Amino acid sequence: MKKTRMNFTGNAPERDLPLKKAAGAVALFTGIFYINFASRIVLAPVLPQLEQDLAISHSQSGTLFLFISLGYLVSIFGSGWVSGALTHRRTITLSALLVGLALWGLAAAQNLFAMRAAALVIGLASGLYLPSGIASITSMVQKENWGKALGIHEVAPNLAFITVPLFFGLMAHVISWREAFFAWGAASLALALAFHFLGKGGHFKGTPPGRESLASAIKNADLWRMAALFSCGVASTAGLYSMMVLYLVETGGMEPGRAGLVLSASRASTLVMAFVAGWATDRFGPRRTMTVALLSSCVFTILIALARGPWLVAAVFLQPVLAVCFFPAAFATLSGMVSPQMRNVAISLVIPLGFVVGAGAVPALMGALAEMGCFRTGMATAGALIGLGGIGAIFFKPALSSS
C-alpha cells in the first residue's frame, strides 16, 4: 500500500488542508517571500546615494535591475532541476541562504562591475524560491481557498514595498546603505534556519523542465499570453517602484529621504488590498480581477507622468491601490492552467519572462529616457504598456487543467 506523506509532526498529510490549519505554514512562506522580494527592490530607495558614491549615471543604475532580472530569469527557469533533486522544501531553504549571502556581497561591492555582479547573484538566488513556494502552498491548501492563501502570500511583496523605503528613509542618517544591506542579508539567513527547523510543506520533488514538459509548455499559447500579462503586472508594481524615488527626486524636486517616505506611505494600502485581491479572485474570478488591476494602474501611471506638486503625490498614492490585486488572480489562473506536477514548470517559464520585461527592461528603458531628459515620457510609456496588458486580460480565457 502506498504511504501517505506526513507533515513534520506526523499528525496529518500536508495537502488539501483548510486555510485555518495551514495559516501558520503559509505565514512562514510569506516571511521568506518578503525577504526574497525585498532583496530585488532594496536598491531602489538608495539609487540617488548609490549613484553619488559610485559615480554612475541614471542609465547605469537602471541596468542594475536588469541584471537582477536576468539572474532571476536563469534561476527560476532552472529551479525545476534544483527542486527535482532536493525537494521544494530544501530548495526554499537554499534560496533563503543564498539570498542572505548575496545581499552581503552587495554590501561589499565597491564599483559598478561588482555591483552588477552582486545584482546578478541576487537574481540567481531569489529565483529559486517562487516555483517551489507556490507549488508547496497550492498542494497544501484546498483549491477553493487558493485565492485567499495566495493573497496572504502576496502580503510579502506589498509589505516589502512599504517597509524597504521606510527603513532607508528613517535610517538614512543612522547607518549607511551598505550596513543596511548587511542587516537584510542577516535576516534572510535567520529565516532560512527558521524554515529548516519549523516550516511545513514542500516534502516532494519538483518536475525538471525536461524535453517533453518544455515542449508541452512552449506549445501552450495560453502560457505565452500569461507571460505577457505578468510582464505588465510586474511593470505596474516592481518596475515602477524601482525608479520611483529617482523619479520623485528628479521631476518632483524632493529630497531622497522624503521621496523614500512618500513611496513607503503610498504602499500602505496594498497590505489591505492583498487580502481584498484574494477575496476578489475567489468571488469575481481571476480574469476580471486582472483586468481591473491593470487598467486602473495604467490610468494612474499616466497621471503620475502628467501631474505636478500635490497632484503628483496623490497619483503616486493611487497607482498601487488596485495594481497589487493582479498577482493573486494571476497565480490562481496559472496554477489552474496546468496539472500539479507541471505547475512549477509553468511558473519557471512564465514568471521570469514577466520579471525580465516588467522589472528589468522597463526600469532600464525609463533610466535611458531619464538620461535624455525625458523621465516623464518614460513614465507615460510604462503606463501605456500596462494598459495594453489590461486590454489583453479582457479577452484572456485560458483552458483550465482538469487535475
Residue 178: predicted pLDDT = 84
Alpha-carbon span 21 to 134, nearest angstrom: 17
37 vs 274, higher pLDDT:
37
Query: For residue 401, is it within any domain?
Result: no
| Residue 209 predicted with pLDDT over 70 | no
Query: For residue 216, is it within any domain?
Result: yes
Residue 63's alpha-carbon distances to 94, 113, 214, 282, 380, in angstroms, are 26, 11, 30, 38, 20
Using a pLDDT cut of 90, give the percent of the chain over it. 17
**For residue 387, what pLDDT band results from cuts at 50, 70 and 90?**
very high
Dihedral sign from CA coordinates of 139, 137, 202, 215: positive
Average pLDDT over residues 377-400: 88
**Per the structure, how many domains does the chain have?**
1
- Rounded to 5 degrees, φ, ψ at 402 are -85, -5
Query: For residue 151, is it within any domain?
Result: yes
Three-state DSSP string of 186-207: HHHHHHHHHHHHHCCCCCCCCC
371 vs 385, higher pLDDT:
385
Q: Which of 12-16, 280-284, 301-305 has the lowest mean pLDDT?
A: 12-16
Residue 2: predicted pLDDT = 40
Query: For residue 9, is it within any domain?
Result: no
| Residue 59 predicted with pLDDT over 60 | yes
Query: For residue 6, is it within any domain?
Result: no
Mean pLDDT of the chain: 81
**For residue 6, what pLDDT band results from cuts at 50, 70 and 90?**
very low
| Residue 149 predicted with pLDDT over 70 | yes
Say which residue the cell 525580465 belongs to. Answer: 356
Domain hosting residue 337, numbered range? 21-394
CATH number for the domain spanning 379: value is 1.20.1250.20
Alpha-carbon span 312 to 322, nearest angstrom: 18
